A and B are shown apart, each in its own frame.
Chain A
Amino acid sequence: DADVTQTPRNRITKTGKRIMLECSQTKGHDRMYWYRQDPGLGLRLIYYSFDVKDINKGEISDGYSVSRQAQAKFSLSLESAIPNQTALYFCATSDALWDTDTQYFGPGTRLTVL
């Protein structure tokens, strides 16, 4: 079984709709991240969480919100989706104490906003 899972894997929605992307991990890591990837670009950080009560904005948080429901779950919401939020979204996890805090990624969610 995958250590980091994301649901859904693909989603098509319409402008103005509320969308939630979910991430779960079985690695036991304390840190979780949400990134987006656009064609021809590297990943950009949206939000990150170092534990359940510690949530922080990344470089492109506008238009997004997150919820850390448990150590193993971290969801990303688009309150009112717009077409320029069409992208590939990745969840990642890391452990601050081990493994040089290396980030491990889920399989990604491809989101299309029409």
Chain B
Amino acid sequence: AQTVTQSQPEMSVQEAETVTLSCTYDTSESDYYLFWYKQPPSRQMILVIRQEAYKQQNATENRFSVNFQKAAKSFSLKISDSQLGDAAMYFCAYRSGDSNYQLIWGAGTKLIIKP
């Protein structure tokens, strides 16, 4: 069975600095998708970025980018120019590329932004 591990329960970063959140996963599949979701204090679960495993290029969305290392089964999220509004729980999630819809979630990393 697939598993997703986020080894950092909490991270902090100075405003305007860069921070990287770690995520590793275990799978025997070659076709899958990876996601980062953000959950601010409002508790809404918001999609930050997604990566298709068949794509070698790392996904980027404005200040958010990923470092996808397929062989190492690593999917880290880099947040550049951190802003106060980035403070949230960040969840990494995995989904199989076949007809299995189910998202497998990590336990989350709490990101604190220091002004």
Contacts and interface: CB of A to CB of B under 8 A. Distances in A.
Contacts of A103: 47, 103
Nearest to B103: A103
B43 A42 contact: no
Contact of B45 (A40, A41, A50, A105): A105
B91 A42 contact: yes
A42 B45 contact: no
A42 B47 CA distance: 14
Contacts of A104: 47
Nearest to B44: A107
Interface string B22-34: 0000000000010
Given A31-B101, A102-B50, A40 B44 contact: no
B43 A107 contact: yes
B66 to A, nearest CB: 15
Given A43-B105, A94-B101, A102 B44 contact: no
B107 A41 contact: yes
A58 interface: yes
Contact of B105 (A42, A88, A94, A106): A42
Given A100-B50, A108-B45, A42 B102 contact: no
B4 interface: yes
A31 B37 CA distance: 19
B52 interface: yes
Given A100-B33, A108-B43, A108-B45, A45 B107 contact: no
Given A58-B102, A94-B101, A42 B93 contact: yes
B62 interface: no
Contacts of A74: none
12 contacts: A41-B105, A42-B105, A42-B107, A43-B45, A43-B91, A43-B105, A50-B101, A100-B50, A101-B33, A105-B44, A105-B45, A107-B42
Interface of B: 4, 33, 35, 37, 42-47, 50, 52, 91, 93, 95, 101-103, 105-108
